[in-house]
Structure 1
Amino acid sequence: MLQNNPELKSKIDQLWNKFWSGGISNPLTAIEQITYLLFMKRLDELDQKKQADAEWTDETYTSKFEGKWIPPRFRANLRDEDSEDERKKKLEDEKRYEIEKRSLRWSEFKFFSPADRMLEHVQDNVFPFLKDLNGTESSFTRHMKNAVFIIPSGRLLVEAVKTVDEIFEVMERDSQEKGQAFQDIQGDVYEMLLSEIATAGKNGQFRTPRHIIKLIADLVQPQLGHKIADPACGTAGFLLGAYQYIVTQLAVTVGAKNFSPLQLQPDEDGFVRTSLAAGLTEKAQATLQASLHGYDFETTMVRLGLMNLMMHGIDEPRIDYKDTLSKSFTEESEYDIVMANPPFTGSIDKGDINENLQLGTTKTELLFVEKIYRLLKKGGTACVIVPQGVLFGAGLAFKTLRQLLVERCDLKAVITLPSGVFKPYAGVSTAILLFTKVWGPLDKVTQPATGHVWFYDMRADGYSLDDKRTKQEDYGDLQDIVAKYHARNPEIDTERTAQCFMVPRVDIETEGYDLSLSRYKQDVFEEVHYDAPGVILDRLIQAEVGDVDEAELDKVQSGIVRELLELRRMVG
């Protein structure tokens, strides 16, 4: 992760500070503007790489920057009532404003001088070109419609462009020296920037650490052809995690020509990952891209999520602006996999809650879990992060939800996370719930779906649990969780003094569907023998004065030695 590359972290801090001092102090606004620059840079680089690859393989590739382009503000306003001559004249007039697309490349406009000329060109041409990128019907274009480029000065833009170039140089060098896929390093950079959003804990949204996303992907094991969703996707970290997991598995099993063994080595968290989908067939790539669906109720998050996926090679991301708890969102039984860390905002307006949600509560941490259950197809699996209060809350809605998970789902696992996992943004204690939908909401349950629940007490995640979150030498419990979850056995994993164990459904029913680990874990008490108080006091006295006989000690009139002697007489 980024903590291990101080040069990269320093460059990102520089970029952030330039925006701050340049008058853009709102973290969400700054990250959005920085993201546009990263996107411009990456778009140019990806296009040039695809051109080079096509030349090498004698294939045809049409560059996004080939030909001419007319900025939207100069396009002809054609109306139905226009005559043929009027249409022809308008179209001829607009041609006067055509510009060469190559001038919209990062590698071209970064040399524009003076600074104000570059700013004007990016504002009036490059940014509108980005918004127009995937055609008028694309999700990206639709959600970029109201986006604005608000870098206020040419000087700030020039400095930001220079710093972004330096960041990409460090990333390229890092990928060559350490064998890590460029996209993964870029993901580190992007997530470092995204982390700034969470400093204010906006709407309870806390960025899920990448190693926790990778853990969840390894637990769920999404496959090519699965329809995958995140109903509160934020910047699309879980969708990207699913994408990278599937791409990696295909690379491992099929063997992709563009992967070196070094690229498929375990990363610093012990997971094998790559974003490089070049080895996939065109059909597999299209299937994979069409399978990822994300929703968020903030337009900024939707734009950031779209650009995040596009910067990782997903050309047409399916992320949309939707409040998935509201009456306007009616999807049910659609997805094979749901991975999510929904916001813990506390409550939602009762009048806007979808009437299909039956818990009778306004608490979003409960409503989202029920919604995720409803989004799953029968046989579909979800892995969701919840505050630990969901596991033991005494209210009717809490208990009803837990009963639903145990009876209508096969609740496979409850993994408690240490409270430091989301630091420095939040100290909230969380847990991972992993369940498969068996019975639908209207089905009559003839037999509860859960047989046994696997509990795991994660004590370490490979990073320090303070605000610094420094990488530790080992993987913490990450790889142990994956291995033991997939090898779990209700006949063997019965020792409740262990770090993980399985609990029969009957025991959970007896405890009123309480899912807190402490309810079932048995503590081990070890008998400890201590020296007698007199012996301890003798040792302390000797440490103060050395080997002195009792007669000499009796002459001591004051100080700590006198007090120790008094204590020794009292304990006799």
Structure 2
Amino acid sequence: MESKINRITDILRRDDGISGAMMYTEQISWVLFLKFLNDLEDSKADEALLNGQEYTYILDDNYKWSSWACPKDAKGKLDLINAKSGEDLLEFVNKELFPYLKGFKSLTQDPKSIKYKIGAIFEYLDNRIANGHTLREVLDIIDELDFHNQADLFQLSLIYEKLLKDMGSDGGNSGEFYTPRPLIKVIADVVNPVIGETVYDPAAGSCGFLIEAYNHIRYINAEENKQRELSTEQLKFLNEDTFFGNEKTPLSYVMGVMNMILHGIESPNIAKTNTLTKDIRGLEEKERFDCILANPPFGGKENDSIQQNFPIKSNATELLFLQHMMNYLKLNGKCGVVIPEGVLFQTNKAFQAVKQELLERFNVHTILSLPAGIFLPYSGVKTNVIFFDRAGATSEIFYYEVNPPYKLTKNKPIKYEHFKEFLDTWQERTLTENSWVVHVNNIKDYDISAKNPNKNEVIEHKSPLELVENIKTNNKEINDLMDEIEAVLVGKDIE
């Protein structure tokens, strides 16, 4: 299956309408989704037949995969006479198929129905494959994939994750799509969502946190596809009433909803909205969630109209998201959130006020200090994970500093095994050279930064003569660079 997807990406890279990993992932996604939907409906029709019932297909006959994408002849081979290609295929896809699918959202008012979800996905999608023969090649390869059984669906979900990872590694704005999966798994392990609890991500992106929470609840061992025994009622709750999220950018929203459906969650409650536009004052308990897992955007600035929605005003998005999550957590609820290092140590008025509320109203039980480079290549910002419960005030904080055996780079990313000692120690608060405990009474000015007391910083003392030599060397390098720049500028003036 993976080799077929790799073939498709190679084909799409040659198409005039496609540029970059973000775009070919988007285009593979809608084709994959329609084949998945076809196989899902076939399986439901077979199941209904066995129960003596008749299944009502979501898609009309003309728009089923077997009608337009890859119609078959009597021998089960591609019907070359009726299979569209070239301009005919593009005409059908652009002028009939996509308008039909986009219209689904207006046909039903039930946001939990798969019909509504299809409309929500295609509302923000368009076919960008410019060559109809290229699209024909892609359809033929994807038609060979079979998503009728659980093992194949699981394989598909892994491959889709890889596509999203490749898109994240592409750098630029695509970083919003991908948080390293080992880190997400660790956060899910600590927060530990269980069946019957609701799970929320206010900055869902491609829904990696929600999917990992689903795997944590659904599987005894996700890698071996070993599922827990759940009742019909529990499965319905898991599928329809467990997972919630917000995402404001159209492509992230599409990828997120599609990612969840491809992982077997047919009715995820993902809204396309800017989380920070919601006034967090006066929330009722029924609006809150049992578990919150997130890696919200940070480093951005928000205007006054957005800041009015928060008791403690700040233009820093990370501070607004933190307040949002604190207010959306149910009594005894659990939260794990990635935040930039600055949130921990900054002591200006807004940061102090938010951290005061966090320590006094919530139990900040653990802070995980992440190594530099964990979000490369799209961000080098030093980050931490704060774990807190809405179960009384903070008394002491367990800190753990992750130290991988090598410097993290794009090609040498963080691994789940790098968190083993942390996962073995955080509950019992076992002290190692990487961990320590701070009592709340010892925290000054609400500075909760992770400073490992077990490590002595080595300061290299140099003689005055060595310092002078270093300054002279640096000055020489600066002068050489200035000469090169001047030569370039003079050359341009002559031209």
TM-score range, shorter chain: 0.7 to 0.9
Q: Taking structure 1 as reference, are residues 331 and 219 closer, same or farther at Cα in structure 2, changes over 3 Å only? A: farther
Q: Structure 1 residues 208-217 or 7-16, which shifts more? A: 7-16
The residue that corresponds to 1:15 in the other structure is 9
Residue type at the aligned position of 2:370: L
2:135 matched to 1:191?
no
User: Contact 2:204/2:256 (CA < 8 Å) preserved in 1?
Assistant: yes
2:423 matched to 1:482?
yes
User: Contact 1:54/1:61 (CA < 8 Å) preserved in 2?
Assistant: yes
User: 1:244-283 maps to which residues of 2 (within 5 A)?
Assistant: 244-248=215-219, 252=220, 264=221, 267=223, 280-283=230-233
Q: Taking structure 1 as reference, are residues 232 and 156 closer, same or farther at Cα in structure 2, changes over 3 Å only? A: same
Query: Percent of pairs identical after alignment?
Result: 28
Spell out, residue by residue over 1:332-377, the C-alpha distance to the aligned partner (whole angstroms, 9 max, x if none): 351111110001142111222243x133210011111111001112
2:176 matched to 1:233?
no
Q: Secondary structure at the match of 2:43?
A: helix
Q: Taking structure 1 as reference, are residues 350 and 336 closer, same or farther at Cα in structure 2, changes over 3 Å only? A: same
- Pick from 486, 500, 505 the counterpart of residue 435 of structure 2: 500
User: Contact 1:410/1:451 (CA < 8 Å) preserved in 2?
Assistant: yes
Q: Which runs of 5+ in 1 are unaligned?
A: 1-6, 70-98, 253-263, 440-448, 527-572
- Pick from 269, 288, 294 the counterpart of residue 318 of structure 1: 269
Residue type at the aligned position of 1:149: N
Q: Tell me the CA shift for residue 239 of structure 1.
A: 1.1
The residue that corresponds to 1:425 in the other structure is 378
Q: Taking structure 1 as reference, are residues 359 and 375 closer, same or farther at Cα in structure 2, changes over 3 Å only? A: same
Q: Tell me the CA shift for residue 123 of structure 1.
A: 3.1
2:289 matched to 1:348?
no
Q: TM-score by structure 2 length?
A: 0.77
Distance 1:32 1:159 in 2: 17
Q: Tell me the CA shift for residue 129 of structure 1.
A: 4.8
Distance 2:164 2:420 in 1: 26
Q: Tell me the CA shift for residue 100 of structure 1.
A: 7.2
Q: Structure 1 residues 191-200 or 333-342, which shifts more? A: 191-200
The residue that corresponds to 2:490 in the other structure is none
2:409 matched to 1:466?
yes
Q: Taking structure 1 as reference, are residues 206 and 506 closer, same or farther at Cα in structure 2, changes over 3 Å only? A: farther
Q: Secondary structure at the match of 2:426?
A: helix
The residue that corresponds to 2:462 in the other structure is none
User: 1:290-439 maps to which residues of 2 (within 5 A)?
Assistant: 290-327=241-278, 332=283, 333=285, 334-355=288-309, 357-438=310-391
2:108 matched to 1:136?
yes
Q: Tell me the CA shift for residue 385 of structure 1.
A: 0.5
Spell out, residue by residue over 1:113-145, the C-alpha distance to the aligned partner (whole angstroms, 9 max, x if none): 433333333334444454456752235224633
User: 1:117-128 maps to which residues of 2 (within 5 A)?
Assistant: 117-128=88-99
- Pick from 31, 40, 43 the counterpart of residue 46 of structure 1: 40
Q: Secondary structure at the match of 2:445?
A: coil
The residue that corresponds to 2:25 in the other structure is 31
Distance 1:59 1:245 in 2: 35
Residue type at the aligned position of 2:208: G
Q: Secondary structure at the match of 1:421?
A: coil
Residue type at the aligned position of 2:182: H
- Of the two, which has the highest radius of gyration? 1
Q: Taking structure 1 as reference, are residues 344 and 104 closer, same or farther at Cα in structure 2, changes over 3 Å only? A: farther
Distance 1:372 1:45 in 2: 38
User: Contact 2:362/2:389 (CA < 8 Å) preserved in 1?
Assistant: yes
Q: Tell me the CA shift for residue 201 of structure 1.
A: 3.7
Q: Secondary structure at the match of 1:420?
A: coil
User: 1:538-553 maps to which residues of 2 (within 5 A)?
Assistant: none
2:465 matched to 1:514?
no
Q: Tell me the CA shift for residue 320 of structure 1.
A: 0.6
User: Contact 1:204/1:345 (CA < 8 Å) preserved in 2?
Assistant: no
Q: Tell me the CA shift for residue 183 of structure 1.
A: 4.0
2:401 matched to 1:457?
yes
Residue type at the aligned position of 2:422: I
Spell out, residue by residue over 1:548-568, the C-alpha distance to the aligned partner (whole angstroms, 9 max, x if none): xxxxxxxxxxxxxxxxxxxxx
Q: TM-score by structure 1 length?
A: 0.68
Q: Tell me the CA shift for residue 153 of structure 1.
A: 2.0
Distance 1:391 1:414 in 2: 10
Residue type at the aligned position of 2:236: A
Spell out, residue by residue over 1:122-180, the C-alpha distance to the aligned partner (whole angstroms, 9 max, x if none): 334444454456752235224633533232220221232245457x47x99xx9xxxx9
Q: Taking structure 1 as reference, are residues 329 and 151 closer, same or farther at Cα in structure 2, changes over 3 Å only? A: farther
Distance 1:368 1:114 in 2: 48
Q: Secondary structure at the match of 2:275?
A: coil
Distance 2:120 2:28 in 1: 20
